[in-house]
Amino acid sequence: MTSPIRLSRTLALLVCLSLSASLSAKTVRKTAARPAAAASAAAATTATASPEGIAERPAVREFMRGMAERHLFEEAALRELFSQVRTRPDVLRLIAPAPPGFKRSWSTYRSRFLDPLRIREGGRFWGEHQATIARASAQYGVPPEIIVAIIGVETIYGRVMGEFRVIDALSTLAFDYPRRADYFRDELADYLLHTRDNRIDPLTLRGSFAGAIGIPQFMPGSIRRFAVDFDGDSVIDLRTSPADAIGSVARFLAEHGWRSGETTHFRADLKPGATVQPLIDGGIEPRWRLAQLLEYGVGSPDTIAADLPLALIDLPDGDAPTVYFLGASNFYVITRYNRSSFYAMAVIDLADALKAARKP
């Protein structure tokens, strides 16, 4: 049972946060959601930080001062809030890079998302929200199967949205994960602004181990920049409104440059002795024309416009041969949602499977 003192302090915190809701955040970084809700739900455990929270750590004090100066938060309210935050060692384990020598396997990764459950539930979700999906597709120019597939990869259509307290996950990564601390401090700031602007208790929201929220697993910065009220109830709610999730996914892709009517990728044809490493090192953003690729020994059996920018995408497959294809602009756009070629291709393959399953 919550003590009267603790309840009073929490109510005071919410009052302080909501009173200063007039100032919006300056966004400073692109964000992308992660498809890790299933892992976070399975790995959520009891936090192990000290019982007084993290409010007195120097880096946290500096962060609170910055929030007070830039966004007019009350420092006393923030100190009370962060006194209740617990860092999560399991978050750091989950986000850690793969160990040296680990062989990525496209086949294994793909099988996680092209499974009977997602295909069955995707068909149900598409049928149940067909009008909303069609409206989002028409408004933003994104194919309906891509919208449905992203939601399926992220949370199996809202079935698995993560069990980590968002503020604990973001604080852990903001202050105990130097590799990407700046990014997660920005996300923590956006989270506090989001909860303040919408009068949500910041201690209550739960999500993935990376701090992603709701049916589409948006990071807080993406919620503030790209989420939409697509069901017309004057509230953006990605946790319980499938319509808001559908519209927000479509808008995210459109805002990141989705090209309506264009494909995502083409088949790659590697000639004997092809030199692929310089193309792989060039990254996944399309920048090569077909004539340039041919100079490296890379072509395609597909018909491709001569001036269309492309990238050579590689999908390592364990001990099996690497899978190659040519990524177009829309493939790159999907990687803005999650910056992984494996992720983007899994979305595309699931989209194809969902579309095929709907045919009479």
Contact between residue 241 and residue 191 where contact means Cβ atoms under 8 Å apart: no
- Name the percent of the chain in helix, strand, coil, to the closest 5: 50, 10, 40
Strand partners, 207: 164
The verdict on whether 154 is a catalytic residue reads yes
Query: What is the rounded distance in angstroms from the CA atom of residue 172 to the CA atom of residue 89?
Result: 8
Residues 6+ apart with CB under 8 A from 179: none
Q: Report DSSP state, residue 140.
A: H
Contact between residue 157 and residue 215 where contact means Cβ atoms under 8 Å apart: yes
What 3-state class would DSSP assign to 313? strand
User: 154, 163, 262, 295: which one is catalytic?
Assistant: 154
What 3-state class would DSSP assign to 232? coil
Task: Output phi, psi for 103, to 5 deg.
Answer: -100, 115
Query: If 0-12 CB within 10 Å is exposed, 13-18 middle and 19+ buried, where does residue 38 land?
Result: middle
Query: What is the rounded distance in angstroms from the CA atom of residue 31 to the CA atom of residue 194?
Result: 15
Query: What is the rounded distance in angstroms from the CA atom of residue 209 to the CA atom of residue 169?
Result: 6
Sheet of strand 320-327: strand arrangement: 265-267, 320-327, 311-317
Query: What is the rounded distance in angstroms from the CA atom of residue 42 to the CA atom of residue 180?
Result: 24
DSSP track, 4-16: HHHHHHHHHHHHH
Contact between residue 286 and residue 335 where contact means Cβ atoms under 8 Å apart: no
Catalytic center residues: 154
